[in-house]
A and B are shown apart, each in its own frame.
Chain A
Amino acid sequence: MVSLARKNLFQDLPRFVVAQAGIMFAVSLVTIQTGIFNGFTRSTSLLIDNSNADIWVASEDMRYLDLTLPMPLERVTQAQQVKGVNRAEALIVGGAVWRRPSGEITPVRVVGFNPDGQLFKPWDISQGNLSQLKQPYTVMLDDSDKDGLKVERPGEAAEIGSFPARVVGFTKGIRSVVSSAFVFASLENAYAYDNSPLASAPDNPPRPPGLTATDRITYILIRAQPGTDLQDLQQRLEAALPETRAYTREEMARLNQVYWQKSTGVGFILGLGAVVGVVVGLVIVGQILYASVSDHLKEFGTLKAMGSSDWFIYGVIIKQALWMAVLGYLPGMALCFALGAWTLEAQAIEILISPITATGVFGITIVMCIGAAVFAIQKVTHLDPAIVFKA
């Protein structure tokens, strides 16, 4: 079948290229805004999503991961006694100040965990190993924070609060856009850093002591015994551990995501950007299709006079719109993937383009182009075929 739609579209190549650039722009804008939103959302719950815990126990006053009240370490032992608990581990999350050798200070987020534990550990280690963190005053950083913390390789040292911090390894891609740089340490080291006064580090500080039952931790990570109903276990944990609340991992992640989305308005801002992208695309495609239909009005009139149905002509215009959608979407999406890879590599900022996002944006592109086609179709609907006899 002769494709009048395709041939009409490619007949005026410069106009076609301008149209495709417009659609590419719209596709890229929607995809990047959505991708940044997804990446942002994921990064707010990065530590939670990558833990191996079924349940996170937190202070009942907790608002989000970084804003909570501590609880004594003895709660871990108490949690271990609760029916249905297979394993309980402590986690310390707290803010501290990183002092570079040059004297500059930078805020960091110290994450203390048991290097021999099972429920939390940095998941992508590019240099060093976890057992090195058992040594006093040792830390792991993320590759993406090397510049910010002025550290290049393992063995280099800085200070956290009034204690030294020797870098023993690096992780890859563990960075949150809503948090300071993560500094991974053992529970003992993290506790020391967390409670360190902001003063210069003494020479040869004492080895951090082991934690006692009254020492403060931030979260308890729980692994349930196989077959345990998590809702029941949450209730039992809350009953057994005073002033706490128990969240499944998904609930905890969601709580953080919602907090950041609402408190920062980022969802609204990025959503607005995406809507602007769709509107701009709609206007551009609409204009191009309308102009194309106007240019080919006599041809459509000829088709009508010869007896073609209105729907055949609508089909030609809609096919044109679909061609424009597909040929604008593919390079637009390729551009977004390339940009996403670059931002991740250069800035460790993830533009998360999931298959759902890619499919959704394709759907939006199609709807956008068909919408523009419907606008252009109006011109044909009222076309009098008798125009063909007017020279």
Chain B
Amino acid sequence: MDKLTPPVELQRITPAKAVVASGIEMIFQSGAERFQALRGIELEIFSDDLELLMGPSGSGKTTLLSILSGILTPTAGTVELLGQEITGLSRGKLAKFRLKNIGFIFQDFNLFPALTAQENVEAVLNLKGIRRQAAKHQAQQLLEQVGLADKVKSLPRDLSGGQKQRVAIARALAGSPRLIMADEPTAALDSQNGHAVIELLRKLAKEEDCTVLMVTHDPRIMDVADRIVYLEDGMISPQAPHFFPVADGASSS
């Protein structure tokens, strides 16, 4: 973890908590069938950290990410994001909160295929109330930041997987959100692109004062995380399950 530790004079004395989840339970019910996806989740994520949420398939990672993003409402428990309790917010207020504070990155990129790279970023800026030239300019800057200055006019179909994910990262960064929620962002990428994307995310987390929470199966990126949270059977596991490799640098939950 040495390479991630800031000089003593810059170290956080009381690090702010970006995410606080308390007593999270999630039960899905379909007719008579009842499935408990999460049980008793207690989780705190500090600002500007890059944290990984890992676990086997069906362990509840995506459900937890959806709840921590304010997309799903838990059956029980509370979620506090950036100091604001969001579990009681209405759908509309939750949407506004997400728009203002959270950037999303998806496994399948979820770019708008009809829009160019620049327009994909611009569309989110437009949603956030930034219009016309200001939006264009910011979109270009963000794409430049992720190394795609020469691809601004390209449609997603003309980009490689790694480039698409970079556009998605630029889009997630549009409007400078304080949180980035990423769902398997390297799953569709080869090793080289996967690493490049993670490096980029880590750099952005540190430089842009952005907390990144990432669901992943990818053991290749464990060493860049500040912390790894393991989920198993809907519960946080105090240590990595036996079938998971343990990261060299990152601390486990």
Contacts and interface: CB of A to CB of B under 8 A. Distances in A.
Interface stretch (A116-124, A228-236, A258-266, A299-307): A299-307
Interface stretch (B102-110, B200-208, B226-234): B102-110
Contacts of A390: 62
B137 interface: no
Interface in A256-304: 298-299, 302-304
Interface in A146-187: none
Contacts of B72: 386
B3 interface: no
Nearest to A299: B112
Nearest to A6: B114
B132 A386 contact: no
Interface stretch (B4-12, B13-21, B89-97, B241-249): B89-97
B1 interface: no
Contacts of B99: 306-308
A36 to B, nearest CB: 40
A2 B115 contact: yes
B110 A307 contact: no
A323 B39 CA distance: 49
Contact of B110 (A2, A299, A308, A386): A299
B95 A307 contact: yes
A7 B71 CA distance: 27
B113 interface: yes
Nearest to B107: A391
A124 to B, nearest CB: 54
B115 A4 contact: yes
B71 A385 contact: yes
B95 A309 contact: yes
Contact of A305 (B62, B98, B114): B98
Contact of B184 (A1, A305, A385, A391): A391
Contacts of A391: 106-108, 183-184, 187
A304 B95 contact: yes
Given A2-B119, A307-B102, A389-B62, A312 B127 contact: yes
Interface in B170-225: 183-184, 187
B69 A305 contact: yes
A274 to B, nearest CB: 35
Interface residues of B, number: 35
Interface in A334-391: 385-386, 388-391
B104 A1 contact: no
Given A305-B69, A386-B72, A7 B108 contact: no
A385 B110 CA distance: 12
Nearest to A7: B114
A277 to B, nearest CB: 30
A383 to B, nearest CB: 12
B252 interface: no
A135 interface: no
A8 interface: yes
Most central of A7, A303, A309, A389 by chain B CB within 10 Å:
A389
Interface in A173-203: none
A120 B179 CA distance: 84
A10 B119 CA distance: 15
A390 B66 CA distance: 11
B194 to A, nearest CB: 15
B93 to A, nearest CB: 10
A212 interface: no
B71 A11 contact: no
B118 to A, nearest CB: 9
A4 B114 CA distance: 8
Contact of B100 (A11, A299, A302, A307): A307
B127 A11 contact: no
B131 interface: yes
A60 B84 CA distance: 86
Contact of A302 (B102, B110, B184): B110
A388 B112 CA distance: 13
A365 to B, nearest CB: 24
A317 to B, nearest CB: 14
B113 A307 contact: no
Contacts of A389: 62, 65-66, 71, 106-107, 183
Nearest to B67: A386
19 contacts: A1-B131, A1-B135, A2-B115, A4-B123, A7-B112, A7-B114, A11-B114, A299-B113, A306-B98, A307-B95, A307-B96, A307-B97, A307-B99, A308-B95, A309-B96, A385-B71, A388-B183, A391-B106, A391-B108
Interface of B: 62, 65-66, 69, 71-72, 92, 95-100, 102, 104, 106-108, 110, 112-115, 119, 122-124, 126-127, 131-132, 135, 183-184, 187
Interface of A: 1-2, 4, 7-8, 10-11, 298-299, 302-309, 312, 385-386, 388-391
